[in-house]
C-alpha cells in the first residue's frame, strides 16, 4: 500500500471510530465518504489489493440476507471485507474496504443504481444478480430502466468474471444470455407454486416478442418457470437449484440443494420461499468462489437473520418479530409467510423517507386481504400511518380493529400491550421504520445497534 493511500485509510478509519465513540452512528458510510472526497481512486486501489478478488451482490429484494448468508459460508475459509451493516452505496463499499485491513476477499451487497460504477471500481471476480422488482419508482424509475443499466454494465464485464443470475427472473436471466462464464440458479418444486401470477407481478411479458409468459410454476412475484408460447423464449436450465422444499410456517424451511457435482439437504432457520431463493443464490456464489459443500451447509444452517429481516427480539417475556417490507413483492411474501398462522396482533409501519421511496402508492398492490379477516387488531404506524390505515380498511379490516399511532414507539408499546406473555408481536416496517424500531429496542437494552450487531 502506498504512503498516500495508507494515510488516507488511516484518516478514514479514525473518522469512523470517532463517529461510533460520539454515538453518531456506526461509521458504516462516513469513512467511505471521506475517502471518496480525498481520493476516488482509493476505492479501486483498495479493491485491487484483495488477493482473492471481489464479489458483488445486487437485487431489489434480499441482497442483504443473501450477502450475509454468503459471508457465513465464505468466512469459514477466507478473511472477508464486507459491508456487514448493509451500507450498499459506493461510500459503504469504501468504508468496508477501509475496515478490512487483513481481508483477502471482498464481498459486497450493492444498491441497484450503484452497481455499474461498483463494477468499474472493483473489477469483480463474480457478480450475483438475484431479482428485479418494481421498487422506489421515484428514485429508480420503472424496473426496465434499471435492467438497461445492468445490461450495459454486464456487457463491460471482463470475460473472466463469473456472472450468476436468477434464472427464474426473465429480465435477470436474459443478462447472462450468450455469456460463457455464467451460472443460473432457481427453484424447482412446483408444489410451492402459486396457482397464477399475482395481479401486481412485474415482468409478465416476453422479452423477445411481447406476448404474455405462460408459467408452469410461479413462485415469488414474477419469479418462476416461464415460457413464451409464441416465440419459445423460456427459463434456461438451472445449474444450481432448490428442490424438495418444505416450509415450516414461521419456524423455518428445508430444501435439497442440487448442483452439477452433488446434492445436499439444508435446514434454514428462516421461513418463506424468498429465503430459499436467498440461500440458493448465496450457495451458488460461494461455490463459484471455491467454497466447499461442507462450508455451504454449515454456513446456511448456522445462519439466523440479517438485521431487521426476520429478527426475533426478546422483550420482557414477549418477543418482537421484525419482517422488513419495502415493495409489493417483498410485502406479499412476508404476508404469505404469515398465512399459515396469522398472529392476533400486527404492527405495520409505513415511512416515506428517501431510503423508503417518497411514493407510497405501492401499498395498494400489497395483498393484505387474505390475512385481515384473521387478525384481532392492527396498529398502523409511521409517517404515513393514516394512508396505511385507509388501505387496510379498504382491504376489509373493520375500523374497530384498527388503531392509528404514527409514533413508532407508541405503536410498539401498544402492540406489546395487546399480546399475551410468551407470545410474539409481528412488526412489518419499511426500511427507515425498521431502523427506528431497532433504535427504540436498542435504547431499552433489548438489542444492540445494527452496526454493533454486525461488527467483526
Tell me the average pLDDT across 264-282: 95
What pLDDT, on the 0 to 100 scale, is given for residue 39? 65
What pLDDT, on the 0 to 100 scale, is given for residue 411? 98
Residue owning grid cell 415460457: 227
The residue with greater pLDDT, 453 or 306, is: 306
Tell me the average pLDDT across 400-424: 97
Asked whether the predicted pLDDT for residue 179 surpasses 90, the reply is yes
Give a three-class secondary structure readout of 72-133.
HHHCCCCCEEECCCCCCCHHHHHHHHHHCCCCCEEEEECCCCCHHHHHHHHCCCEEEECCCC
Q: 72 falls in which pLDDT band (50, 70, 90)?
A: very high
Q: 449 falls in which pLDDT band (50, 70, 90)?
A: low
Q: E strand or H helix at 143, and its extent?
A: helix 143-155
pLDDT per residue over 2-52, tens digit each? 434 443 444 444 444 434 444 545 445 555 555 656 666 778 888 999 999
Q: 249 falls in which pLDDT band (50, 70, 90)?
A: confident
* d(C-alpha 281, C-alpha 22), whole Å: 38
Asked whether the predicted pLDDT for residue 256 surpasses 70, the reply is yes
Answer for the pair 14, 72: CB distance below 8 angstroms, yes or no: no
Tell me the average pLDDT across 424-449: 91
Picking from 86-90, 147-151, 278-282, which range would have the lowest pLDDT averaged per residue? Answer: 86-90
What pLDDT, on the 0 to 100 scale, is given for residue 41? 74
Asked whether the predicted pLDDT for residue 252 surpasses 50, the reply is yes
Q: Could you give phi then psi for residue 326, rounded to 5 degrees?
A: -150, -5
Topology of the domain covering 2-301: 3.40.1190
List, in sequence order, every residue forming a beta bridge with 162; answer none if it has no partner: 126
215's CB contacts (< 8 A; 6+ apart) are 193, 196, 197, 224, 225, 226, 227
172's CB contacts (< 8 A; 6+ apart) are 129, 130, 131, 132, 147, 165, 166
Residue owning grid cell 404469505: 336
* d(C-alpha 420, C-alpha 423), whole Å: 6
Picking from 106-115, 131-140, 203-212, which range would have the lowest pLDDT averaged per residue? Answer: 131-140
Q: Could you give phi then psi for residue 228, rounded to 5 degrees?
A: -90, 120
| C-alpha cell recorded at residue 345 | 396482533
Picking from 142-156, 363-377, 403-417, which range would have the lowest pLDDT averaged per residue? Answer: 142-156
What pLDDT, on the 0 to 100 scale, is given for residue 91? 84
What pLDDT, on the 0 to 100 scale, is given for residue 140? 47
Please state, for a pLDDT cut of 90, what percent of the chain lies above it: 70
What pLDDT, on the 0 to 100 scale, is given for residue 447? 77
Tell me the average pLDDT across 423-446: 94
Tell me the average pLDDT across 257-273: 93
Mean pLDDT (the chain, rounded): 88
Q: 194 falls in which pLDDT band (50, 70, 90)?
A: confident
* d(C-alpha 101, C-alpha 436), whole Å: 31
Q: 257 falls in which pLDDT band (50, 70, 90)?
A: very high
Q: Any idea where the domains of the chain sit in the sequence?
A: 2-301, 309-452
Query: Dihedral sign, CA of 216, 57, 238, 276?
Result: negative
Asked whether the predicted pLDDT for residue 141 surpasses 80, the reply is no
The residue with greater pLDDT, 58 or 41, is: 58
What pLDDT, on the 0 to 100 scale, is given for residue 135? 64
Asked whether the predicted pLDDT for residue 454 surpasses 50, the reply is no
81's CB contacts (< 8 A; 6+ apart) are 50, 96, 97, 99, 100, 103, 105, 106, 107
What pLDDT, on the 0 to 100 scale, is given for residue 13? 45
Q: 367 falls in which pLDDT band (50, 70, 90)?
A: very high
Helices (H), 305-398: 328-338, 385-394
* d(C-alpha 373, C-alpha 247), whole Å: 23
| C-alpha cell recorded at residue 123 | 473489477
Q: 56 falls in which pLDDT band (50, 70, 90)?
A: very high
Residue owning grid cell 401486481: 200
Asked whether the predicted pLDDT for residue 133 surpasses 50, the reply is yes
| C-alpha cell recorded at residue 335 | 404476508
What pLDDT, on the 0 to 100 scale, is given for residue 34? 59
Answer for the pair 104, 135: CB distance below 8 angstroms, yes or no: no
List, in sequence order, every residue forming a beta bridge with 248; answer none if it has no partner: 252
Tell me the average pLDDT across 103-118: 95
Class of domain 309-452: alpha beta
Tell me the average pLDDT across 301-308: 82
What pLDDT, on the 0 to 100 scale, is given for residue 170? 96
| C-alpha cell recorded at residue 116 | 455499474
Which of 208, 216, 115 lies closest to 170 in space, CA to CA? Answer: 208
Q: E strand or H helix at 403, and its extent?
A: strand 402-404
pLDDT per residue over 319-337, tens digit each? 999 999 998 988 999 999 8
Tell me the average pLDDT across 232-261: 94
Asked whether the predicted pLDDT for residue 180 surpasses 80, the reply is yes
What pLDDT, on the 0 to 100 scale, is given for residue 452? 55
C-alpha gyration radius of the chain: 22
Q: Could you give phi then psi for residue 208, rounded to 5 degrees?
A: -90, -45
What secondary structure letter does DSSP report for 237?
P
What pLDDT, on the 0 to 100 scale, is given for residue 419? 96
* d(C-alpha 327, C-alpha 133), whole Å: 8
Answer for the pair 402, 302: CB distance below 8 angstroms, yes or no: no
What secondary structure letter does DSSP report for 190?
G
Amino acid at each position: 500500500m502506498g504512503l498516500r493511500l495508507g494515510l488516507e485509510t488511516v484518516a478514514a478509519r479514525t473518522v469512523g471510530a470517532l463517529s461510533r465513540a460520539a454515538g453518531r452512528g456506526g461509521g458504516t458510510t462516513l469513512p467511505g465518504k471521506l475517502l471518496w472526497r480525498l481520493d476516488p481512486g482509493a476505492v479501486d486501489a483498495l479493491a485491487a489489493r484483495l488477493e482473492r478478488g471481489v464479489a458483488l451482490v445486487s437485487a431489489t429484494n434480499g441482497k442483504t440476507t443473501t450477502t450475509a448468508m454468503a459471508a457465513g459460508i465464505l468466512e469459514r475459509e477466507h478473511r472477508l471485507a464486507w459491508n456487514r451493516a448493509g451500507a450498499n452505496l459506493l461510500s459503504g463499499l469504501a468504508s468496508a474496504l477501509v475496515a478490512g485491513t487483513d481481508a483477502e476477499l471482498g464481498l459486497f451487497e450493492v444498491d441497484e443504481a450503484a452497481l455499474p460504477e461498483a463494477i468499474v471500481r472493483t473489477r469483480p471476480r463474480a457478480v450475483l444478480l438475484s431479482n428485479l422488482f418494481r421498487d422506489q419508482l421515484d428514485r429508480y424509475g420503472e424496473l426496465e430502466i434499471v435492467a438497461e443499466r445492468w445490461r450495459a454494465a454486464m456487457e463491460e464485464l471482463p470475460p473472466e468474471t463469473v456472472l450468476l443470475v436468477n434464472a427464474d427472473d426473465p429480465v435477470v436471466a436474459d443478462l447472462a444470455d450468450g455469456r460463457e462464464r455464467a451460472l443460473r440458479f432457481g427453484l424447482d418444486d412446483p408444489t410451492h407454486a402459486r396457482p397464477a401470477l399475482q395481479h401486481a407481478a412485474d415482468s409478465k411479458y416476453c422479452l423477445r416478442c411481447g406476448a404474455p409468459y405462460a408459467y408452469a410454476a410461479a413462485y415469488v412475484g414474477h419469479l418462476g418457470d416461464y415460457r413464451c408460447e409464441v416465440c419459445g423464449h423460456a427459463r434456461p436450465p438451472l445449474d444450481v437449484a432448490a428442490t424438495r422444499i418444505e416450509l415450516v410456517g414461521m419456524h423455518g424451511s428445508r430444501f435439497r440443494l442440487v448442483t452439477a457435482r452433488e446434492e445436499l439437504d439444508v435446514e434454514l432457520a428462516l421461513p418463506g420461499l424468498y429465503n430459499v431463493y436467498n440461500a440458493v443464490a448465496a450457495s451458488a456464489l460461494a461455490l463459484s468462489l471455491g467454497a466447499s459443500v461442507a462450508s455451504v451447509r454449515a454456513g446456511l444452517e448456522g445462519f439466523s437473520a440479517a438485521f431487521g429481516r426476520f429478527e426475533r427480539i426478546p422483550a420482557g417475556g414477549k418477543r418482537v418479530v421484525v419482517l422488513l417490507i419495502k415493495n409489493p413483492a417483498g410485502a406479499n411474501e412476508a404476508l404469505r409467510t404469515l398465512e399459515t398462522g396469522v398472529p392476533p396482533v400486527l404492527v405495520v409501519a409505513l415511512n416515506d423517507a428517501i431510503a423508503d421511496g417518497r411514493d407510497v402508492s405501492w401499498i395498494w398492490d400489497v395483498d393484505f386481504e387474505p390475512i385481515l379477516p384473521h387478525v384481532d387488531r392492527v396498529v398502523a404506524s409511521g409517517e404515513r400511518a393514516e394512508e396505511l390505515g385507509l388501505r387496510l380498511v379498504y382491504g376489509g379490516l373493520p375500523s374497530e380493529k384498527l388503531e392509528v399511532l404514527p409514533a413508532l414507539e407508541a405503536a410498539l408499546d401498544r402492540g406489546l400491550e395487546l399480546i399475551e406473555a410468551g407470545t410474539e408481536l409481528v412488526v412489518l416496517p419499511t426500511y427507515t421504520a425498521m431502523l427506528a424500531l431497532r433504535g427504540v429496542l436498542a435504547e431499552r437494552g433489548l438489542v444492540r445497534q445494527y452496526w454493533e450487531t454486525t461488527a467483526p
